[in-house]
Amino acid sequence: MPIDYTFETFNDLGLPQPLNADVAASMVKHSGLTSADVVFAAGGGTDAERHALTWLLATYVPQPYKKATNHQILPLTATSVGQVVLAYDANRRATATLVGRGLPAGLEPPYREPAQLTQWLKDTYALAGITGQWTGEQLVKLHTALGLVPEADRPALRGVLIQRVAALQSHDGHDKGKFSYERGPWAGSLGTLKLADAIFAEDGIGFYGGLTSRACLPSVRGILHEVGHAVESASCRTEARNNAAWVVESTGGRQYRASEHVPDNLVTEAIQLDTDNEALGKLGTGLPNAAARAEFETLCDTIEKIQSWITSAENGTFQQEGVFSEVKSHLAQALTLNIWQTYRQEIVRWCDAQIREARWRTKFVTPRGNNITPCLRDFVQFVHDGGVGTNLTPYAQTSYGELFAEAYSFWLADPDAVERHDRRLRQYFDKAAYRVGD
């Protein structure tokens, strides 16, 4: 079954004054509930809180009536709010459970000053940066979300740029947050995680967890959803970025740190075959003997063949890794004269780059040309083989990638909710079965 609770944007009616046992009982009678119980899971409550919870339970009865559970932030007094679970069963029996007072508390940050906390987050998670306009409260929520990410998954955040934006223009449902990255074997960036105003808009309305796990703000779970995309794509992004760093360094460029962006223009230049055909033509004139001329012809034929492969790749047809290994082996035997050394070294370098690209495509591109990571491929197989329900949430049903991100975020925010959906899905994450392709 789907996640078995939600939260609603209720009309803010305000608590009536005065609010006593008689007022609360009258509202219960008017609501049609057969019983209305109050539980103080957060510790002993006051009479005023009990009256408020009873009144709220009767006020927000689902219309039309249905079995439902809501995790709401609701007023307890004129000046305080609480984390309240409103549960309505099929027989019109209802229970209000106070699981916490105030808003759900985040993880205590090492610094409260925004600039210090920003720098700490960048250093701790090796982020490329944190940009945009952040309030101190929003940074604490970001700190809380990232702090819930298991230690073994945190390398997925390395080199990611986190951007705070006002809004996201999206046609795929990502209007609150979006993790994106360039899909290709030479991507020099490790991705961008954008968070819009909308991701924080529900933090005063509802919460996740709270009964058997720590209550979690909607913004925290939303951030964890995007982190889930980063975790799923980590091996793909990391290998592409390492390719980009290697190919730039192979042309004499500087070394790049593991979390550092490699400029696209340098990568584009470095993956080209750099052979001066005019200079090569001059070398080919006046060669001393037939053996030298034969080596020259071999070199020219190889360059011509490579140019045909480059043209084919531009049209979407790529060579297998073994083709480039054969070229390297052939040139090592066929070109013995020092006059060809510069060309031989450049062709070998270019072949090594093509081998890296071929390996990347073997791992991360399907025969039909679609991108998929080993993590997602394994997850899809797990769901198919086990008949695991894809209806964890409505959004989870839009794609397997979104199912993974939703499951990952709920596993961290409210693991028991994932278990109630399907025990096997929780076990999949508990056992870290998703950590493949590293």
pLDDT digits (tens, 9 = 90+) for 123-133: 999 999 999 99
Q: What number is the average pLDDT over the span 202-219?
A: 95
Say yes or no to pLDDT of 427 above 70: yes
Handedness of CA 267, 273, 275, 278 (dihedral sign): negative
Say yes or no to pLDDT of 203 above 90: yes
Q: What is the pLDDT of residue 276?
A: 86
pTM for the full model? 0.93
CB of 370 within 8 A of CB of 325? no
Tell me the CB-side half-sphere exposure of residue 343, using CA atoms within 13 A. Answer: 27
What is the chain's length? Answer: 438
Strand partners, 83: 73, 100
pLDDT per position as a tens digit, 94-107: 999 999 999 999 89
Say yes or no to pLDDT of 195 above 90: yes
Tell me the CB-side half-sphere exposure of residue 399, using CA atoms within 13 A. Answer: 10
pLDDT: is 174 or 26 the higher one?
26
262: pLDDT confidence band, cut at 50, 70 and 90? Answer: very high
Q: What is the pLDDT of residue 13?
A: 74
Say yes or no to pLDDT of 335 above 80: yes
pLDDT per position as a tens digit, 68-96: 999 999 999 989 999 999 999 999 999 99
**Class of residue 382 by CB neighbours under 10 A (exposed 0-12, middle 13-18, buried 19+):** middle
Round the average pLDDT of the chain to a whole number and report it.
Answer: 94
399: pLDDT confidence band, cut at 50, 70 and 90? Answer: very high
Say yes or no to pLDDT of 363 above 90: yes
Q: What is the pLDDT of residue 285?
A: 87
Say yes or no to pLDDT of 438 above 60: no
Q: What is the pLDDT of residue 281?
A: 87
Determine how many CB atoms are found less than 10 A away from the CB of residue 192. Answer: 17
Q: What number is the average pLDDT over the span 353-369?
A: 94
Q: What is the pLDDT of residue 437?
A: 56
